[in-house]
């Protein structure tokens, strides 16, 4: 996975660089600036991961980069949202999964850190992770509404003969909740029955990459 990360980044950046050259040749300056912003956002999780006080698992970094590429470049820039009817639903479901994992890991750190006096029950950990994912998804929908009203974008897509975008927003929120519910259910199950699962593997790797947060386990 350590070797896959830079290869994936170079591959995705090369795809966007070809598109950028074409945009510059056609003097499409606005689209070129937008694409440059996407390239920066796609690179950010990898470039800054080693500079943060907390290092996230490599699998999460790779999934985050792929998600940003699929949502912004393929979805918005290459119009996959309009060309593939299930693209938006799939991405919002995935965002619920990723945000659920992130919320789960955050509260797990608080629960397991030696300096913390809290000991949170598994059900509350799963509930916090679910609420975190739902809140983040809701903030994103508010951002879409703001962009559409202020800058005239079309981030809220007409859906099922509803041109207002309300149906699109509600469907996005529902699949985001579904994705978060699935991953939080797995997390809750893992805490009750510590069998091997992807959640266990990510938590173990998180501890390995952040020994300073868990000195009682690294020593």
The model's confidence at residue 93, banded by pLDDT at 50, 70 and 90, is: very high
pLDDT at position 138 = 94
Q: Where are the alpha helices (DSSP H) in the chain?
A: 4-25, 29-47, 58-68, 80-83, 87-112, 122-151, 166-192, 198-209, 215-218
pLDDT attached to residue 114: 52
Q: Is the pLDDT of residue 167 over 80?
A: yes
Over residues 2-17, the mean pLDDT reads 81
What ranges do the domains of the chain cover?
Answer: 1-78, 85-219
217 has pLDDT over 60: no
Answer whether 180's CB lies under 8 Å from 133's CB. Answer: yes
Global pTM?
Answer: 0.78
Tell whether the model's pLDDT for residue 214 goes beyond 70: no
Q: What is d(CA 60, CA 127) in angstroms, rounded to the nearest whole number?
A: 21
Q: Could you report the per-residue pLDDT of 105-153, keeping only the tens digit for each? A: 777 777 666 555 556 787 888 898 899 999 999 998 998 888 888 877 7
DSSP 166-205: HHHHHHHHHHHHHHHHHHHHHHHHHHHS----HHHHHHHH
């Amino acid at each position: 996975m350590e070797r896959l990360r830079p290869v994936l980044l170079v591959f995705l950046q090369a795809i966007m660089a070809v598109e950028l050259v074409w945009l510059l040749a056609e003097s499409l300056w606005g689209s070129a600036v937008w694409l440059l912003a996407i390239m920066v956002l796609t690179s950010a999780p990898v470039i800054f991961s080693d500079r943060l006080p907390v290092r996230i698992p490599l699998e999460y970094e790779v999934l985050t980069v792929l998600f940003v590429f699929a949502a912004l470049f393929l979805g918005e820039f290459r119009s996959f949202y309009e060309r593939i009817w299930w693209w938006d639903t799939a991405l919002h479901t995935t965002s619920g999964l990723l945000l659920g994992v992130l919320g789960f890991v955050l509260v797990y750190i608080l629960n397991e850190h030696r300096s913390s006096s809290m000991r949170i029950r598994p059900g509350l950990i799963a509930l916090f992770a679910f609420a975190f994912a739902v809140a983040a998804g809701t903030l994103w929908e508010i951002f879409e509404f703001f962009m559409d009203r202020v800058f005239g974008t079309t981030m809220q897509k007409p859906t099922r003969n509803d041109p207002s975008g309300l149906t699109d927003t509600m469907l996005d929120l529902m699949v985001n909740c579904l994705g978060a519910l699935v991953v939080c259910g797995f997390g809750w199950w893992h805490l009750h029955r510590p069998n091997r699962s992807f959640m266990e593997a990510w938590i173990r790797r998180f501890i390995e990459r952040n020994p300073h947060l868990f000195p009682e386990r690294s020593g």
